[in-house]
Structure 1
Amino acid sequence: METIRKAAVIGAGTMGAAIAAQFANAGVPVLLLDIVKPDAPSRNALAEGAIAKMLKTEPAPFMSKRAAKLVTPGNIEDDLPQLGSCDWVVEAIIERLDLKQVLYREIDAVRRPGTAVSSNTSTIPLAKLTEGLPESFRRDFLITHFFNPPRYMRLLELVTGPETDQDLAAKVANFADLMLGKSVVKAKDSPGFIANRLGVFWLQTGVIEAMDAGLTVEEADATIGRPFGIPKTGVFGLIDLVGLDLMPHINASLAATLPQGDAFHATNRDLPLIKKMIAEGYIGRKGKGGFYRKGAKGREAIDLSTADYRPAQKAKAPDGRDLRKLLTQSTYAWRVMGQTLAYAISLVPEAAEDVHAIDEAMRLGYNWKFGPFELIDKIGADWLAEKLAADNFPVPALLTAAKGKSFYRQEGANRDYLGTDGAYHKLTRPEGVLMLEDIKLTAKPLLKNASAAVWDIGDGVLCFELTSKSNSWDQQNLELLDKAIDFVPQNHKALVIYNEGSHFSVGANLGLALFAANIAAWSEIEKLVASGQQIFKKLKYAPFPSVAAPFGMAVGGGCEILLHSSAIQAHAEAYIGLVECGVGLVPAWGGCSEMLARWAANKAMPRGPMPAASKVFEMVSTATVSKSAANAKELLFLRESDGITMNRYRLLTDAKAKALALAVSYAPPEAPTYQLPGEDGSVGFAMAVKDFRKKGLATPYDEVVAGELRRVLSGGDADIIDRPTEQQILNLERAAFTRLIKQDGTLARIETMLTTGKPLRN
């Protein structure tokens, strides 16, 4: 199937510009067009301004500054003919049907037949958008509803009409999956589609029920948050995040388009408090604040009855291990989630063909850990039906049909879902997707302990999985990795290092390190450091290839395992770095030695002993973390030959393929030697740190930690003419780490990080 080689986005507002950025992140040239702004210095001012703004925005729409060069700004008056060279045109202008239809006719006049044209609308049905337009245009038209921010939100709702060319829709969906990193969920042409239809109902119900019950916003968010696997923002925190000013527009659109009997209308009340907040500029995080704001003395929350701000209170979240018990004990939890789950059931098949589509939309569009039907299975469909009936809520027909059943069931290696016909249907992954959770359904680990496991993922490839808390490294998973390195060559070709947690690895287990330090178990700490060095080097020089597959945070020891792997296949959203200095330590599992070797070998780096050491000193002392996998290549945490996977679901497949390709003619690397700056370089690093101290950019204890780091990176007692070995650098790392772990300043940093999650600037 032909792919998308060039794209265009029309509308350089927040969403349109960010969609264009995601095309560029995928390596695809993209036109960004908007109207000509009168009296502007450039006819392309709106598009040019959007690109410039995105280069300064955090979180960044671009994965690297290089990607921004793939976006070409233009305007609708001059540049529409350029659409003739595009394979996909995305319309992202204001939500006005009349303006959209005028634009579509202009697009149709210049595009090639077969060019996909899609709207990013979240409120206007496809049938309305294409009404009165030529049949040839209707055949190539669809809705592609991205979620904000497009780089980070994995959901793409795809809506087609009865006349849409299904091959073209498949081409767009395939590109969105493989290149844009989206999980494509097919939605019906109904108001609000799936995620916003249900999500807005949930938010509106959460606000109204909290006001009626006299709850604080903190109590409401603590209840309708983590206990249900929903982000801790809950209801009010999420509205602050997306913006209060958007809610009336979405609500008005749904109110105008949903049928009269829809349950949404009962939740669409006039809320004077929200009107007042919007009028006064309290529209959430992008304004002066919202339900929460930063006050002079810290975080504040609004009083829902008086509209006055007060100091925010910490509300205790209820226990979510028994959801049925929680829903019985908490009237608020029941009235919000009971109605929300019932509404979700009523959307099948009106908004989505099956229950899985709704679950996927809420997991990826609203970051719920469990979709609504997965939550129902935890609660019990029969129990939910009985309680809804007892409280005089309507019981959806699909819930009645599910009597005595669950919405999902496990049959061997197959996971089935309950259809509207009352029968179970096989749930299948998209072609080419391999998930460890599927392998675990029928397989047993080849090796296992409390902190890790080794799985056979087929074709002679094994997978090493961290299973510890936050996938942190400890003595047990290091020992299992050691065993795996010996085990692979017996009957297998390669090893993939991968897991399906929230983050790849947060590094060494600091809690265990702090405990050992508090009881002065120095020998145990030294043993952990030495074994980590030994095992990671053993992996590096193993006779088979290893491929690490990071995603999310891969920091500290989680970064060091990457640096010792034969290759890396990273998810695009991988945040990689050596952050040990932030907790008063230095990298001691080979992080310093590996980064020194990489920067010394970098052709863009000036020759000599100082440049590479200076770059590594700068990165490690400031705990630099990449902002994407593309940025990790710029920082040399990834090599140019390492791969990047856009879709998180495809990471294991791609890592396995890379491992098999390497295994064909694999030979382990040769050990590097180093040219380091010696005492003169160490003095130079010290002067730089003192300068930072004077400017207030470094703390007293930063200087202590940097003192140990500069000793490692300058080569210790080695002279500038010496050529230290890899083992000598490792010895310096270990010695520096051991000295620092005994310091009160380091222990204070570790304790603060463990208790607050934030670094201590002592």
Structure 2
Amino acid sequence: MKIERAAVIGAGVMGAGIAAHFANAGIPVVLLDIPAKEGDRSAIAKGAVQKMLKTDPAPFMHPKNAKLITTGNLEDDLNLLADVDWIVEAIIENPAIKADLYKRIDPVRKPGSVVSSNTSTIPLNLLVEGQSERFRKDFLITHFFNPPRYMRLLEIVGGTDTRADALAAVADVCDRRLGKGVVHCKDTPGFIANRIGVFWIQTAVNAAVDLGLTVEEADAVGGRPMGIPKTGVFGLMDLVGLDLMPHIAKSMLATLPPNDPYRDSVREHPVIAKMIAEGYTGRKGKGGFYRLNKANGAKVKESVDLRTGEYRPSEKARLDSVSAAGRDLRKLCEHPDKGGRFARRVLAHTLAYAASLVPEIADSIVAVDEGMRLGYNWKQGPFELIDRLGTAWFAELCRSEGLPVPALVETAAGRPFYRVEDGKLQHLTTAGVYDTVVRPDGVLLLSDVKRAAGNKPVWKNGSASLWDIGDGVLCCEFTSKMNAVDGDIMAAYGKAMKLIGDGKGEWKALVIHNEADNFSVGANLGLALFALNIGMWSQIEEMVEAGQRTYRALRYAPFPVVAAPSGMALGGGCEILLHSDHVQAHAETYVGLVEVGVGLIPGWGGCTEMLARYARNPKAPRGPMPPVATAFETISLAKVAKSAAEARDLMFLRATDGITMNRDRLLADAKAKALELAAGYTPPEKDSYVLPGPGGKAALDLFVEGFALQGKVTPHDKVVCSALAEILTGGDADISKPVGEDDLLRLERKAFMELVRTPGTIDRIEHMLTTGKPLRN
């Protein structure tokens, strides 16, 4: 069966978010809720859509996606369900109310349409009690995580009567079109991620209170050192809402087996109860464990004292265990201070609990690890964390904490849960043997390529590696800190061009891709500042010129270059995309030329390429000034597209560039496009432009001056904008003569070198490196 149209019943935060994400995938969707008591009877669903258009972070990848949502109400518009292939129920977690809804929609839905519940607490067998045989065959659970656009996990649960083709169709559309990491779970309380996640949260809160840690200390230990987001536990509770936790506990206690360890972990902490009663429920309330106190005109970050419940100024955690251990998880646990004791208790209890639940909640450890990575943003799942500690060492940790050693850990008998055999990743099964981890069709992961190659690239240096991804395609992977672009990355491009040559030998094409959180945050500012401080002006100019040469060489190479970004692609990272023949972007790619924030202009051809794109835009007004003005606005305001769809609006991506919803499919899509382009490839021709010259620059300067008089432009903004205007208008260009790319690149270099010598720019660079925020000087 195919799923081309969908419906969501329940226009609350979760239901509306699911509807928005259907629209992001290009799937028309009906959104229904109860009738409003006054006025427009469909006002609740309509209001939810309007609210999402104003929400930040945005549920929609592009505002136009809202047009794919048809709103209505459950009394007047049930007939709209007759045309949809999949109905998602996302209403209150009450079995009786859900059962009544199912009986109402069953007669009107079309035969063979799928119905799913977004529940995370009610067992499927309870939901289908008393429903028709037809309904039971078409019913399953699809548990989205909030917010649906950004959280990748989608837990699917089928019942004993659920049709196999219904499960397969939903899993396929969630994977390929919604971009979800689909994990099949068993019909058990909390499924995978929440079953483990709520136990982890409760355990960590108990341990912090018992061991006398501050919230900052607990989050410092239980965050990044464990591969968990920097929010840690208390920051995460602020994010989801403290008032949600008692409801989750009540639901879990109502359905969990009598001997489940979670029952012993649930404790009411007076400080937390007091916070909830007084409205301190987290970010959605007046504050939570952390808050920003804006009293007396100042903004002071404050934290709750877990002993008294009173707020105090936040303090950076200073624990010897964290500083001494670094990324060594076992060393962290072995440290004698309270941070080490906290790590031991939390990891022992949480990981032992997770290990004890296989095969109860899922058939394999792979599903459990995937669930925690995608649902809670852990860098590694529970079994991967046990491998970091060592299975034998972890067994001893359990004993020392008074815990029974899980059967699966006993089965491991000192062996790792994951191993690489013949270049393939394998996982330990409950039978005690290893099985190969199988990827879905159409998934190509660079991590798998590296394993198959024995971690031996075709070529590498300190900041980049070249990998053979098959069929004559090379992949350039960045490995520098935050994938900042430096001389080694430029050298890797040069090496790739030499290896590929004319594209008619062993190698045919180049893909630029990595699996880090961010594609590239731009140029390495630390190196630039070092060079500035010792006056290495000639080396800086050579760096700029070398970058221009390299990017232009890629642009006009005799073989196709395909960039496959995800996450942030800023500054020099954005310029890589601008010089590629094709960009196959993950839907969650955030693109922008942000150099003005550090007092500079795009110096590696970014100005030139953006001018070219706006000049070629068939929808733009004719004449020399419109493309200049648009490029000036985009670059001077450091506009950043908040999705790949928005990047098309700003022309960081072209209409011909591709968007991949599922990040795991990105490299395969990019490789396929590279091979398609390689057949009969010819490089593009160089451009020239008619530019307005000094008159155009004067107009832009006047425009900036107007904003300066309104207090919207700082003194150094004016300096940077003037330099940018000089480039985009062609310097002293004669409007009757075309300006070539080489002329524009020369103007870029000149402007960059002038700006980099100014005190205002140096101050901005230093401030960015120190604080991570732009300086408004």
Under a length normalisation based on structure 2, what TM-score does the superposition of the two structures give?
0.97
2:248 to 232, 250, 261: 250
Partner in structure 2 of residue 414 of structure 1: 424
List aligned pairs for 1:602-613, cutoff 5 A. 602-613=617-628
Q: Secondary structure at the match of 2:75?
A: helix
Q: Which amino acid aligns with 1:139?
A: K
User: After the TM superposition, which of the residue ranges 437-446 and 425-434 deviates more from structure 2?
Assistant: 437-446
User: Does the 8 A contact of 2:607 with 2:748 survive in 1?
Assistant: yes
User: Does the 8 A contact of 1:255 with 1:268 survive in 2?
Assistant: no
User: Does the 8 A contact of 1:228 with 1:320 survive in 2?
Assistant: no
List aligned pairs for 1:368-407, cutoff 5 A. 368-407=378-417
Using the alignment, how far apart are the partners of 1:331 and 1:467 within structure 2? 34
Cα displacement string for residues 252-297 of structure 1 (whole angstroms, at most 9, x for unaligned residues): 1001111111000111112222222122111111111100000134
Q: Which amino acid aligns with 1:11?
A: G
Partner in structure 2 of residue 730 of structure 1: 745
Q: Residue 13 of structure 1: CA displacement? A: 0.3
Q: Does 1:23 align with 2:19?
A: no
User: After the TM superposition, which of the residue ranges 481-490 and 573-582 deviates more from structure 2?
Assistant: 481-490
Using the alignment, how far apart are the partners of 2:149 and 2:521 within structure 1? 23
Partner in structure 1 of residue 328 of structure 2: 322
2:307 to 305, 308, 331: 305
User: After the TM superposition, which of the residue ranges 85-94 and 443-452 deviates more from structure 2?
Assistant: 443-452
User: Does the 8 A contact of 1:540 with 1:566 survive in 2?
Assistant: yes
Q: Does 1:455 align with 2:457?
A: no
Using the alignment, how far apart are the partners of 1:566 and 1:46 within structure 2? 46
Using the alignment, how far apart are the partners of 2:483 and 2:330 within structure 1? 30
Partner in structure 2 of residue 520 of structure 1: 535
Q: Residue 327 of structure 1: CA displacement? A: 1.2
Q: Residue 316 of structure 1: CA displacement? A: 3.2
Partner in structure 2 of residue 484 of structure 1: 496
Q: Residue 719 of structure 1: CA displacement? A: 2.5
Using the alignment, how far apart are the partners of 1:707 and 1:210 within structure 2? 54
Q: Residue 722 of structure 1: CA displacement? A: 2.6
Q: Residue 42 of structure 1: CA displacement? A: 1.0
Partner in structure 2 of residue 219 of structure 1: 217
Q: Which amino acid aligns with 1:419?
A: T
Q: Secondary structure at the match of 2:154?
A: strand
2:351 to 293, 317, 341: 341
List aligned pairs for 1:285-300, cutoff 5 A. 285-296=283-294, 297-300=299-302
User: Does the 8 A contact of 2:395 with 2:405 survive in 1?
Assistant: yes
User: Does the 8 A contact of 1:241 with 1:284 survive in 2?
Assistant: yes
Q: Secondary structure at the match of 1:575?
A: strand
Q: Which amino acid aligns with 1:476?
A: D
Q: Which amino acid aligns with 1:300?
A: E
1:66 to 64, 67, 91: 64
Q: Residue 37 of structure 1: CA displacement? A: 1.2
2:262 to 261, 264, 269: 264
User: After the TM superposition, which of the residue ranges 465-474 and 88-97 deviates more from structure 2?
Assistant: 465-474
Q: Residue 543 of structure 1: CA displacement? A: 1.2
Q: Residue 519 of structure 1: CA displacement? A: 0.8
Q: Secondary structure at the match of 1:301?
A: strand
Using the alignment, how far apart are the partners of 1:711 and 1:741 within structure 2? 16
Q: Does 1:365 align with 2:375?
A: yes
Using the alignment, how far apart are the partners of 1:101 and 1:721 within structure 2? 74
Using the alignment, how far apart are the partners of 1:316 and 1:439 within structure 2? 40
Q: Residue 322 of structure 1: CA displacement? A: 2.3
Using the alignment, how far apart are the partners of 1:328 and 1:517 within structure 2? 44
1:282 to 280, 283, 286: 280
Under a length normalisation based on structure 1, what TM-score does the superposition of the two structures give?
0.98
Partner in structure 1 of residue 651 of structure 2: 636
User: After the TM superposition, which of the residue ranges 485-494 and 277-286 deviates more from structure 2?
Assistant: 485-494
Q: Residue 525 of structure 1: CA displacement? A: 0.7
Partner in structure 2 of residue 544 of structure 1: 559
Partner in structure 2 of residue 475 of structure 1: 487
Q: Secondary structure at the match of 1:491?
A: coil
Q: Residue 328 of structure 1: CA displacement? A: 2.2
Q: Does 1:649 align with 2:664?
A: yes
Q: Residue 87 of structure 1: CA displacement? A: 0.7
Using the alignment, how far apart are the partners of 2:576 and 2:396 within structure 1? 52
Q: Which amino acid aligns with 2:383?
A: F
Summarize the Cα distance change of 1:486–1:328 in structure 2 as closer, same or farther, 3 Å threshold.
closer
Using the alignment, how far apart are the partners of 1:693 and 1:342 within structure 2? 61
User: Does the 8 A contact of 1:47 with 1:75 survive in 2?
Assistant: yes
User: Does the 8 A contact of 1:382 with 1:404 survive in 2?
Assistant: yes
Using the alignment, how far apart are the partners of 1:293 and 1:636 within structure 2? 39
User: Does the 8 A contact of 1:226 with 1:320 survive in 2?
Assistant: no
Q: Which amino acid aligns with 2:404?
A: P
Using the alignment, how far apart are the partners of 1:691 and 1:268 within structure 2? 61
Cα displacement string for residues 296-340 of structure 1 (whole angstroms, at most 9, x for unaligned residues): 341000111111111000113602432222112211111111100
Q: Does 1:598 align with 2:613?
A: yes
Q: Residue 387 of structure 1: CA displacement? A: 2.2
Q: Residue 486 of structure 1: CA displacement? A: 2.6
Q: Which amino acid aligns with 1:548?
A: A
Partner in structure 2 of residue 616 of structure 1: 631
Q: Residue 437 of structure 1: CA displacement? A: 1.1
Using the alignment, how far apart are the partners of 1:76 and 1:657 within structure 2? 45
Q: Secondary structure at the match of 2:659?
A: strand
User: After the TM superposition, which of the residue ranges 636-645 and 485-494 deviates more from structure 2?
Assistant: 485-494
Q: Which amino acid aligns with 1:26?
A: A
Q: Which amino acid aligns with 1:494?
A: A
Q: Does 1:579 align with 2:594?
A: yes
Partner in structure 1 of residue 434 of structure 2: 424
User: Does the 8 A contact of 1:593 with 1:730 survive in 2?
Assistant: yes
Q: Does 1:137 align with 2:135?
A: yes
Q: Which amino acid aligns with 1:309?
A: Y
List alignment gaps of at least 5 residues for structure 2.
Answer: none
Q: Residue 515 of structure 1: CA displacement? A: 0.6
Q: Which amino acid aligns with 2:13?
A: T
Q: Residue 70 of structure 1: CA displacement? A: 0.6
2:715 to 687, 700, 707: 700
Using the alignment, how far apart are the partners of 1:455 and 1:22 within structure 2? 34
User: Does the 8 A contact of 1:539 with 1:565 survive in 2?
Assistant: yes
Using the alignment, how far apart are the partners of 1:697 and 1:688 within structure 2? 12
Q: Which amino acid aligns with 2:70?
A: T
User: Does the 8 A contact of 1:189 with 1:351 survive in 2?
Assistant: yes
List aligned pairs for 1:645-724, cutoff 5 A. 645-724=660-739
Equivalenced residue count is 760
User: Does the 8 A contact of 2:344 with 2:397 survive in 1?
Assistant: no
Summarize the Cα distance change of 1:384–1:447 in structure 2 as closer, same or farther, 3 Å threshold.
closer
Q: Residue 78 of structure 1: CA displacement? A: 1.3
User: Does the 8 A contact of 1:749 with 1:760 survive in 2?
Assistant: yes
CA RMSD of aligned residues (A): 1.1
Q: Residue 509 of structure 1: CA displacement? A: 0.8
Using the alignment, how far apart are the partners of 2:384 and 2:288 within structure 1? 32
Q: Secondary structure at the match of 2:70?
A: strand
Q: Residue 3 of structure 1: CA displacement? A: 2.7
Using the alignment, how far apart are the partners of 1:704 and 1:167 within structure 2? 63
User: Does the 8 A contact of 1:20 with 1:30 survive in 2?
Assistant: yes
Q: Which amino acid aligns with 1:301?
A: S
Using the alignment, how far apart are the partners of 1:14 and 1:422 within structure 2? 43
Q: Does 1:10 align with 2:9?
A: yes
Q: Which amino acid aligns with 2:683?
A: P
Q: Percent identity?
A: 60
Q: Which amino acid aligns with 2:374?
A: L
List alignment gaps of at least 5 residues for structure 1.
Answer: none
Q: Which amino acid aligns with 1:737?
A: F
